[in-house]
């Protein structure tokens, strides 16, 4: 076994702290990765604090992992020692179900193996994530990080980046399409940058105009502050696609009204309580209310290559591992522009 150091949550209401644990020895198809950086995703906070239920402790969170390969198994062909690589939300899946056959492993019908707070394929070993110095992952679930992307800025692409890239691609954002991004946080700011690079006309839809300059600086074409009376009404029926990154409980009706005939509003942020929606605005214009979960391994690689080619990186604030607890409190308050990245080299 490989001895690993990490930062773990030990119980729902305790601060995270240092944790010594073990990683498996590399199997023939595994790569061993020296973790350099790991992003902090809001879902890390939800799971470390057991806000979704069923959390397994001790838990080493983190699924925005960027590092360098230090060893490979005997059968590995896709990566070699010294390669810059990333690991996102998935470390394995069944590989045989209809979703996996379509290379949509995030929708694995048997349940994908998530990077932490999940189980490995043996069905009993708990997975541990990226707030750590080392991880062992199957080569097929390990991404190539292009040279043009610095490792610290590549990290948040592995979850936040692909969570927006996947629906933008699936619902065909591009030239001639009007795309709305609800909420300018870790997810939303990636949606703006990627949507603009895809050629879409992008509007940020936000509670007030406190982030207007940031949004325009990221390339957004328009900014819609919803605290202005009738702000949404004035744009009714003008959007081809809206992606909702906001996890707050809001009345969706006025947002459905923004969509054109046949257009979709896609949710990627999860509110704490179930939503109550009125179907009239959906029925009236054959609109869709849809959901999207992270992205597949293939989409994640496409997204990394796309971001490298288009020079897209997240706006990050880098912290040392001992700053994780303070960072969690700031994530909850949306007090970060726009993603925390932990320098795991300082562990
Ligand atoms: Zn995430
Ligand atoms: Zn599957």
Once rounded to an integer, what is the mean pLDDT over residues 151-161? 98
- Ligand 2 centroid to residue 100 C-alpha, Å: 4
Nearest 5°: CA angle at 159, between 158 and 164?
A: 110
Rg over alpha carbons for the chain, rounded to the nearest Å, is: 20
How far is 105 from 112, CA to CA, in rounded Å? 6
How far is 307 from 198, CA to CA, in rounded Å? 10
- Which ligand has the nearest atom to the CA of 45? 1
- Which ligand has the nearest atom to the CA of 98? 2
How far is 86 from 152, CA to CA, in rounded Å? 11
How far is 259 from 241, CA to CA, in rounded Å? 7
Q: Residue 124 contacts by C-beta under 8 Å, 6 or more apart in sequence?
A: none
Question: Which residues have a beta carbon within 5 Å of ligand 1, which is an ion?
Answer: 41, 43, 159
Residue 228 has pLDDT above 90, yes or no: no
Residue 16 has pLDDT above 90, yes or no: yes
At residue 248 the predicted structure's pLDDT band, cuts being 50, 70 and 90, is: confident
Residue 80 has pLDDT above 80, yes or no: yes
**What DSSP state is assigned to residue 272?**
S
Asked whether the bond before 311 is cis by omega within 30 degrees of 0, the reply is no
Report the relative pairing of strands 288-291 and 84-87 from DSSP bridges.
Answer: unpaired
- Ligand 2 centroid to residue 105 C-alpha, Å: 6
Q: Residue 269 has what pLDDT?
A: 85
Q: Residue 112 has what pLDDT?
A: 96
Residue 70 has pLDDT above 90, yes or no: yes
> What pTM does this model have?
0.97
Interval 81-116: pLDDT, tens: 999 999 999 999 999 999 999 999 999 999 999 999
Once rounded to an integer, what is the mean pLDDT over residues 212-232? 95
How far is 38 from 153, CA to CA, in rounded Å? 10
Q: Residue 232 has what pLDDT?
A: 93
- Ligand 1 centroid to residue 79 C-alpha, Å: 24
- The more confidently predicted of residues 271 and 346 is 346
Residue 271 has pLDDT above 80, yes or no: no
Interval 169-208: pLDDT, tens: 999 999 999 999 999 999 999 999 999 999 999 999 999 9
Q: Residue 264 has what pLDDT?
A: 98
- Ligand 1 centroid to residue 41 C-alpha, Å: 5
Which backbone phi and psi does 35 adopt, to 5 degrees?
-75, 125
Q: Residue 241 has what pLDDT?
A: 98
> Mean pLDDT across the chain, nearest whole number?
96
């Amino acid at each position: 076994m490989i001895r690993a150091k990490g930062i773990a949550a030990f119980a729902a209401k305790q601060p995270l702290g240092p944790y010594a644990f073990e990683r498996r020895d590399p199997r023939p198809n595994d790569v061993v990765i020296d973790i350099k950086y790991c992003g902090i995703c809001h879902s890390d906070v939800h799971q470390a604090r057991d806000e979704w239920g069923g959390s397994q402790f001790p838990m080493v969170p983190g699924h925005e992992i960027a590092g360098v390969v230090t060893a490979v198994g005997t059968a590995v062909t896709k990566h070699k020692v010294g390669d810059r690589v990333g690991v996102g939300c998935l470390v394995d899946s069944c590989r045989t179900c209809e979703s996996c056959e379509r290379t949509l492993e995030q929708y694995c019908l048997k349940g994908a193996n998530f990077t932490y707070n999940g189980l490995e394929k043996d069905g009993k070993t708990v997975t541990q994530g990226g707030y750590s110095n080392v991880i062992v992952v199957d080569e097929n679930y390990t991404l190539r990080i292009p040279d043009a992307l610095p490792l610290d800025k590549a990290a948040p692409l592995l979850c936040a980046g692909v969570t927006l890239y996947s629906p933008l691609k699936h619902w065909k954002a591009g030239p001639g399409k009007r795309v709305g991004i609800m909420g300018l946080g870790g997810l939303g700011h990636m949606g703006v940058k990627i949507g603009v690079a895809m050629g879409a006309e992008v509007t940020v839809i936000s509670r007030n105009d406190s982030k207007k300059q940031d949004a325009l600086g990221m390339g957004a074409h328009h900014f819609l502050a919803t605290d202005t009376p009738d702000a949404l009404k004035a744009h009714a029926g003008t959007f081809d696609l809206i992606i909702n990154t906001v996890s707050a409980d809001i009345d969706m009706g006025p947002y459905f009204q923004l969509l054109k005939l046949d257009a979709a509003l896609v949710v990627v942020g999860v509110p704490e309580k179930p939503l109550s929606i009125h179907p009239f605005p959906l029925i009236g214009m054959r609109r869709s209310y849809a959901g999207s979960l992270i992205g597949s391994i293939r989409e994640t690689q496409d997204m990394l290559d796309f971001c490298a080619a288009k020079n897209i990186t997240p706006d990050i604030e880098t912290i040392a591992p001992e700053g994780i607890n303070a960072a969690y409190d700031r994530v909850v308050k949306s007090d970060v522009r726009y993603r925390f990245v932990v320098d795991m080299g300082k562990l």
